[in-house]
Amino acid sequence: MTASWQFWALLSACFAALTAIFAKVGVENVNSDFATFVRTVVILAALGAILFATGQWQAPASVSGRTYLFLVLSGLATGASWICYFRALKLGDAARVAPLDKLSVVLVAVFGVAFLGEKLSMADWLGVLMIAGGVILLTTRIWS
């Protein structure tokens, strides 16, 4: 089961849900940027411990410049996402912030097609549209 991408993606979703709940409580009485900093320090320490414990550290020189470029860009995007996410949680309900944040699913599909040449079937696009529709329903007050 641990060799399945579905297993890890579902586990990621569970941890992301817990992240929203824990973060909402955590930003109550602190600046959202400071909260993001604390979260980042915890992630660095935990990941460092995992790399050390599992012997997965690799020599920095073994990584290509292109790989570093895209990992740095990914890190910058992640940091920007976290800063925006924590500010949104500071201002809004977790039950509405998290679904809007998951609009990223729709954007990943569009960007994957546009920039990576990925192909989506009609059923895939229908799913993407349904996610977008769900985001709209969960984040707007058109029915209340």
Q: Are residues 42 and 87 in the same domain?
A: yes
Give per-residue pLDDT as tens, 34-69.
999 999 999 999 999 999 999 999 999 999 999 999
Q: Are residues 107 and 38 in the same domain?
A: no
Give per-residue pLDDT as tens, 80-127.
999 999 999 999 999 889 999 999 999 999 999 999 999 999 999 999
**Angstrom distances, CA of residue 33 to CA of 37, 67, 73, 112, 116:** 6, 28, 20, 30, 32
The distance from CA 82 to its chain's CA centroid, rounded to whole angstroms, is 8
Cα distance between residue 82 and residue 52, in whole Å: 26
Does the pTM exceed 0.85? no
Q: Are residues 113 and 82 in the same domain?
A: no
Q: Are residues 1 and 72 in the same domain?
A: yes
**pLDDT surpasses 90 at 70:** yes
Q: Is 117 left (phi over 0), alpha (psi -120 to 50) or beta?
A: left
Q: Are residues 79 and 112 in the same domain?
A: no
Q: What is the mean pLDDT of the chain?
A: 93
Domain that holds residue 84: 1-92
Q: Which H or E run includes 116?
A: helix 104-116
